[in-house]
Structure 1
Amino acid sequence: MKISVIIATYNRPNKIKLCLRSIISNHFYSYEIVVIDQSNDYQTKKEINKLKSRKIKYITVNYKNKSKALNLAIKNALGKILVFTDDDCIVDKNWLKEINNSFKSKHITGVTGKSLPYNQRKDIDIFCPAIFNYKNGRIINKASYHATSIGFGNNMAFKKKVFEKIGYFKEWLGPGSVGCAAEDANFLLRTLVFGYKIMYNPKVIIFHNNLLSKDDFRKKLLGYKCGEVACYGYLALKGHNFANDIISKNIKSLKEKVKIYLNSVLEFKKISLKDFYYDVKELFYIIRGFIIAFYFAKKDPLGHSC
């Protein structure tokens, strides 16, 4: 078995069916799909059974923690290359072939690719998270802000031996965990910190099937903010300067917001209660992220899963 595609899913039977169909339709044959189902019911299992594909290895669990689910999938995967996407993604027909081609360079241990909106709309108030779209490919060997320079967990792949050497996903990060998000960012960054090289290949393409209203998008951003602060705070406390810079920018942005609100109060300017309430929640999520970072920086070694 050359490639194992790994997907953790939760209560999205229709979306994962579309995702799996797109993978099965790929022009590549030496692969398996490992699905870890965290759903509350049997709808996902029913939809997967309808596909009647021998490529799918289906595992159900009774917990809600994406990182824990991914780690279980890794341990059950037979492939030498582990490929990750999300249950709300549609993959390009050449996705697996391009990933496989990327690993022909022996010095490459990880691959990321384009993440584009699915059924893109021009509505002003419709947003799609986790988009990564750069024209030119490149080799990444230096850790920096993942969302603008490396990529996302909805479209990434690694040699299995990387997990065996530096550890698995941190189970205190990601959906269903205390850290809410950024399990993918943490692993990507740890890979680079340990000296491995990642290739960004713009021909490795997925489409993110998750359009959100402005309010829903902002709610999701709160979890992202908590996860990012926890992720980068943890790495900063482990002595990595690139993470210090990103944390400093978060603190600076926070100070500027507080300053704006104080000036508005002093000058008797009208404040949007909705925006104020959101910003207060954001502050609490940031503080939560810092607390998580401090706690796990002491408890959890950089090279091992929690």
Structure 2
Amino acid sequence: MKFSLIMATINRMDVIEKFMNSLLAQEYKVFELIIVDQNDDNRLENLIEKYSNQMQIIYIKSVRGLSRARNVGLSHATGDIIAFPDDDCWYPKELLKRVKNILVSNNSIAGLTGKSVDEDFNISAGVFDEEEGEVNKKNVWRRGISITIFLRKEVINKVGTFDEMLGVGSGTKFGSGEETDFLLRVIDNGYKVVYFPSIIVHHPNLTHLSLTYKRGYLYGCGLGILLNRHNYPMTYKIRTLVRPLGGILLSLLTLKWRHAPFYFGTLKGRVFGMLYK
């Protein structure tokens, strides 16, 4: 069983080397690293030359956009299992071996997901369930993040690739949601994806991200269109509007005014996405 690890990258160097070193340390070494370079220059040239004799590397240039880059990578993948590491994540040494063992022993599973933690094993992106179980429409938000998705290639061949209208760098209003849409389409096609909280991928903590109106709006639009596209009930949609509304009120009441634009952008974006045709 061979892994294809599709890593889109832009404006990064040192962290990529950290990831590649984590690949060299893997206990299971049957994999190819597909680097999809969205930089305008050739800054990765020396790094790729350094590692090219130590692992199989497929190097591709791509226009910007995370979903576009991943789709380019998918068109070059030759592995049985596909994963989508970020350029600033890194793998624990036993990760690929554990994923391989799970999928070999469970033919009914189309893929699996895990959780993201920082170097101190604190949750580093989002909120995750503590219980193992199948991924579905209700819990996908707590059980699916792109860097921990491992899917059989045959399933992707049937379901299709990432929607290039969604995600960071898409050039649209929908600046998030590409991996959730991807997983939901897998599930909607009748495939089983299982979440294992013991499967971890390391990633720096994201608490430093700026809470700007633009970020809130783009992320909000992404969530809103997913709820619309995948036919979530109106009650669920309303609940997703209550939280940013509460965030606005709390920001004003606690005099943390600089947070209010982020929550307002989130609210406005979610409404736009829900109504988008």
Report the TM-score range of the alignment, normalised by the length of the smaller protein: 0.7 to 0.9
Contact 2:4 2:77 in 1 (8 A): yes
In 1, distance between residues paired with 2:214 and 2:92?
29
Matched residue, 1:252: 242
In 2, distance between residues paired with 1:283 and 1:51?
45
Q: 1:14 to 1:217 in 2, by over 3 A?
A: farther
TM-score by length of 1: 0.78
Matched residue, 2:258: 274
Contact 2:216 2:265 in 1 (8 A): no
SS state at 1:103 partner: helix
The reply to whether residue 132 of structure 1 matches residue 116 of structure 2 is no
Letter in 2 for 1:108: I
The reply to whether residue 285 of structure 1 matches residue 261 of structure 2 is no
The reply to whether residue 176 of structure 1 matches residue 169 of structure 2 is yes
SS state at 1:34 partner: strand
Matched residue, 1:153: 146
In 2, distance between residues paired with 1:37 and 1:130?
26
Matched residue, 1:37: 37
Name whichever of 194-203 and 157-166 sits farther off: 194-203
The reply to whether residue 165 of structure 1 matches residue 158 of structure 2 is yes
In 2, distance between residues paired with 1:245 and 1:22?
44
Contact 2:211 2:259 in 1 (8 A): no
In 1, distance between residues paired with 2:220 and 2:182?
17
Q: 1:223 to 1:234 in 2, by over 3 A?
A: same
Letter in 2 for 1:180: G
Contact 1:116 1:208 in 2 (8 A): yes
SS state at 1:278 partner: helix
SS state at 2:193 partner: strand
Letter in 1 for 2:132: G
TM-score by length of 2: 0.85
Contact 2:227 2:274 in 1 (8 A): no
| Number of matched pairs | 272
In 2, distance between residues paired with 1:94 and 1:217?
38
Matched residue, 1:12: 12
SS state at 1:5 partner: strand
Tell me, which stretches of 5 or more residues in structure 2 are unaligned? none
Identity, % of aligned positions: 26
Letter in 2 for 1:32: E
Contact 2:217 2:268 in 1 (8 A): no
Matched residue, 1:301: none
Aligned-residue CA RMSD in angstroms? 2.8
Q: CA deviation at 1:112?
A: 0.5
Structure index of larger Rg: 1
Question: Which of 181, 189, 205 does residue 186 from structure 1 map onto?
Answer: 181
Letter in 2 for 1:92: P
In 1, distance between residues paired with 2:80 and 2:257?
52
Q: Deviations 1:106-147 (Å, cap 9, x if unpaired)?
A: 1000110121123568xxxxx94345362x43333x322423
In 2, distance between residues paired with 1:108 and 1:217?
39
In 2, distance between residues paired with 1:137 and 1:231?
24
Superposed, 1:44-55 pairs within 5 Å as: 44-52=44-52, 53-55=54-56
In 1, distance between residues paired with 2:117 and 2:215?
18
Contact 2:211 2:262 in 1 (8 A): no
Letter in 1 for 2:137: A
In 2, distance between residues paired with 1:162 and 1:270?
48
